[in-house]
Amino acid sequence: MSKRTRISKVEKWVKEGRGSGIGADYKPWLNIQDVSSLGRSTRLKGIKTNRQHEFLSDLGVPPTV
């Protein structure tokens, strides 16, 4: 029986095309579900790029009224 080859997370992400693309076709290197946290996260649609931006904190998110 042959051994199973395991690929690292980084190799898997590179194969998925993360961190590449331009504008609306850009795939971020990290997604919210990639980072374990008890903090808050937010997903907003970008005005210029028309894609989803994922914020791992509230620092980059404008306050809502």
Domain that holds residue 25: 9-55
- 13's enclosing H/E stretch is helix 9-16
Assign 9 to helix, strand or coil: helix
CA gap 14, 34 in Å, rounded:
14
- pTM higher than the cut 0.85: no
Looking at residue 61, its pLDDT comes to: 67
Instruction: Note the pLDDT tens digit of each residue in 8-57.
Output: 888 999 999 999 999 888 999 988 888 887 777 888 888 888 888 888 87
Count of domains forming the chain: 1
Looking at residue 44, its pLDDT comes to: 86
CA gap 63, 65 in Å, rounded:
7
User: Is 64 a member of any domain?
Assistant: no
User: Is 2 a member of any domain?
Assistant: no
Looking at residue 19, its pLDDT comes to: 92
**Is-contact 52 43, C-beta < 8 A?**
yes
Whether 62 has a pLDDT exceeding 80, the answer reads: no
User: Is 62 a member of any domain?
Assistant: no
Contacts of 55 (CB under 8 A, 6+ apart): 41, 42, 43, 44, 61
